Amino acid sequence: MTTIAKLLEIQFQGYFMCRIATDPDPTNEQRGVSGYTLALVGEDPLDQVIRTQIDDPEFLARNLRPPAREMGIRVGVDVNGVLFDGQPYFGPARDALVGARLYLEGTNPPFPGPTYDSRNNIVGSDDNMAFVVNPFQLALRKGPAGDESLLIKAEDYLNPAKPEQKIWEIEDPETYARRLPINFSSSSVPAQSAIRAFDGAVYFQDRVKYLRKRIEDLERQRAETPDPKVAADLETRIQELYTRIWQIDFWASRIETKLAFQLTYSFNVNGPQTVIDRTGSLQGEIDSGQPWPVTFWFGSWDGDLLIGWMEGSLSVPFRPAG
């Protein structure tokens, strides 16, 4: 008799950051020139990387724009629930997994991490939001970075016949069509609900009000400081805020509408799988011998803060102990 391993559905959600260049900038533009996104003076270059976790506090300090913190936003996609065989699960594996951090790892040279790959319609479609997340190396990590008590990794190949092949070398995109979004909605209620923002115009009007208020505060500080270096630094920050207001005003609906965008992916990961459970916290066995279904969406995109929402699940065949 064949005993089937039922699926443990590991659910995750949270904010991600992507310092992405936007059309008509080339997709490797590092500062942002002609699109609606740009790197401010004190920030890192646009590197296109999808960051579901930010472990470097200095990077976060440089690049998480105000008022993200005031809004209670924390960049981090974490495990928030577990189902087993389609039902809510309260076994040991739940405790082991909830709170695990989801990482998208690997690089897509010249970019230092995974990106939404399109190359301005060469290997995808900007107009249809048909981007491959490239590479796809998902990792769930519980415990301190580098010394995780639990680690689950799943990698998917664009072309399983030639795992090393770059996307631009693949002649027929049908090869990686399974990695393209299965659905795109430009007016998604789930995307709006996730961040509780239902009117993009009002959302960004509030943002502009906030930025103007912040400019007033900084101008006051600049007028009061006797230190020319401090005054120059404040002037830089003021100009950064003016730049953001200008971008929001100029691009208007192109930025506002993306709050309601939802881009959904679903495929079975076809590459190597890794499970390391140092303490036996799962109290069961994950089957690494068959493809793991993964489904997730990106959306709720704030093109001023360069952050969005990610939500989804990784399903692994699981046999509880006993």
Site string for another protein, 131-170 (x = CB under 8 A): -----------------------------------x-xx-
d(CA 140, CA 10): 10
Choice between 121 and 205, CB closer to another protein: 121
Choice between 183 and 274, CB closer to another protein: 183
* Out of 147, 164, 171, 227, the residue judged to bind another protein by CB under 8 A: 171
d(CA 231, CA 293): 54
CB of 28 to another protein, least distance (A): 5
Choice between 121 and 239, CB closer to another protein: 121
CB of 23 to another protein, least distance (A): 7
Choice between 180 and 255, CB closer to another protein: 180
Query: Measuring CA to CA, which residue among 273, 322, 275, 283 is closest to residue 93?
Result: 283
Choice between 15 and 267, CB closer to another protein: 267
Asked if 186 touches another protein (CB under 8 A), the answer is no
* Out of 119, 214, 254, 319, the residue judged to bind another protein by CB under 8 A: 119
* Out of 102, 123, 133, 260, the residue judged to bind another protein by CB under 8 A: 123
CB of 257 to another protein, least distance (A): 17
Choice between 178 and 214, CB closer to another protein: 178
Range in contact with another protein (rule: CB under 8 A) among 58-66, 124-132, 219-227, 247-255? 124-132
Judged by CB under 8 A, how many residues of this single chain contact another protein? 28
Site string for another protein, 19-58 (x = CB under 8 A): ----xxxxxx------------------------------
Binding site for another protein (CB under 8 A): 23-28, 110, 119-128, 130, 166, 168-169, 171-174, 177, 180-181
